[in-house]
A and B are shown apart, each in its own frame.
Chain A
Amino acid sequence: MRIQEHPILHFKPGKKVSFIFEGKKMEGYLDEPIAAALVAAGIKVLSYSRKLKRPRGFFCAIGNCSSCLMKVNGIPNVRTCITRLEEGMIIERQC
């Protein structure tokens, strides 16, 4: 979900791009953080913890907490809150 109207801010999103999340095609905006595009698309669970397989979501947004680590284009442990979205990215949950 995205903010449609705001009393102070005017959002000027980048170009629309598509990406693949867990095999499904989705859309977001170029250069926004991957994790923001996922939240906007209604995806809250970004990964599962290694041992207990507990769901993990967006938490700090500044690359500090590791809660948003995902596999991006085959590379694991990408901090998706501070990595920009690009056309055609393949994004997967890691566990």
Chain B
Amino acid sequence: MKEYDIIVVGGGPAGLAAATTAAKCNANILLVDDGLQLGGQLIKQTHKFFGSTEQFAGIRGIDIAHNFIDEISHLSNIEILTQSTATGFFEDGVLTILEGYNGNRLSKVKPRRLIIATGASENMLSFINNDLPGVYGAGAVQTLMNVYGVIPGRAVLMVGAGNIGLIVSYQLLQAGIEVKAIVEALPCIGGYWVHASKIRRLGIPIYTRCTLKEVKGKEEVESVTICNIDDKFNFIPGSERELSVDTICLAVGLSPLAELLWQAGCEMAYIPELCGYVAKRDENMKTSLDHIYIAGDVAGIEEASSAMVEGQIAGLNAAASLGLYHEKYRELNLAFHRQLLQLRHNEVSESITRGIKKATL
């Protein structure tokens, strides 16, 4: 069985940062990702990032991903395995991976340290006919149009006016697709005003205290009924409106994709500020199990910039725990921690900071 110093699961910004940082400490590394290409969420982000770091603000996510992929291809001590899903980590230290055509090949590898950077999955919403074809997660709509140039539908109802709902609405318009309306259950728009005003200027209505009640259609979405709601989130009878759409795009939040951490036996906690169950960790991203580290959205839903810095911290410290110290270990570790503090030093991040405090071992 092949052994590695470090295996990184997930090739989004967090995993890429973890792998490149650990590689610079001379660890030999396997990076496993189940997508068709590396980059995670970044490869679909065509907008200029709102990232607060001096390094990345103003760059399109897709370009950040390409820079990383370029860097990684020059590091000879990182092996890359795409289209491969890590499925379990067992008491004897074996990680199982499903590879090949529809995962019909099982392989086993042994890491001395494991870094889990599996990101997040999109939340579902309950409404009548929510399983009809034409109901998409916002991430899927982005993948179709921004990565593959495929039009998911002609007329869209966007559900959720957070940053993701607003940004994806704008991207739909750029692709020449009609957005009929954006509905938001809360009394106010959650995303940044820059994004919201761009949408408003283009004449797309954003209805707050409003949600979708029912989708109609036989084999696929044909129309949707939206309805206003009161303070207790109950439908207000008589306020229903019907819109003719063929696509529903759900942007109602993300949850950490933490199955591997549960299965491996890490101590978990439900932390609403971090959007779900996360592994408890120390300040260097080590979980309750000495050989498992975490980074990125799986550690709490945040943003790409902080995911990358967490990845750097996890990579640096996982390597150090094997005696593979970066020549500037102390300075780098301090600098990364300082960067995280800086990133989280704003109003929006207050609840994240609170959540992280609760999640710290």
Q: Which A residues have a C-beta under 8 Å from some C-beta of B?
A: 1-9, 11, 13, 31-33, 36, 39-40, 44-46, 49, 54-65, 67, 72, 75, 77-79, 81-84
Contacts and interface: CB of A to CB of B under 8 A. Distances in A.
B144 A36 contact: yes
Among B85, B140, B175, B220, chain A packs the most CB atoms within 10 A around the CB of B140
A49 B152 CA distance: 22
A6 B104 CA distance: 38
B99 interface: no
B296 interface: no
Interface string B106-132: 000000000000000110000000011
A49 B127 CA distance: 18
B36 A33 contact: yes
A5 B219 CA distance: 30
Among B60, B102, B137, B219, chain A packs the most CB atoms within 10 A around the CB of B102
A61 B41 CA distance: 11
SS of A interface (majority): loop
B104 A75 contact: yes
A55 B133 contact: yes
B149 A13 contact: yes
Contacts of B139: 60-62
A32 B140 contact: no
B36 A82 contact: yes
Contacts of A5: 176
Nearest to A11: B149
B55 interface: no
A18 to B, nearest CB: 17
B220 A55 contact: yes
A12 B172 CA distance: 19
10 contacts: A2-B150, A4-B176, A6-B175, A8-B46, A39-B150, A60-B139, A63-B35, A67-B131, A75-B104, A82-B34
B149 A75 contact: no
Given A63-B85, A83-B102, A9 B150 contact: no
Nearest to B149: A11
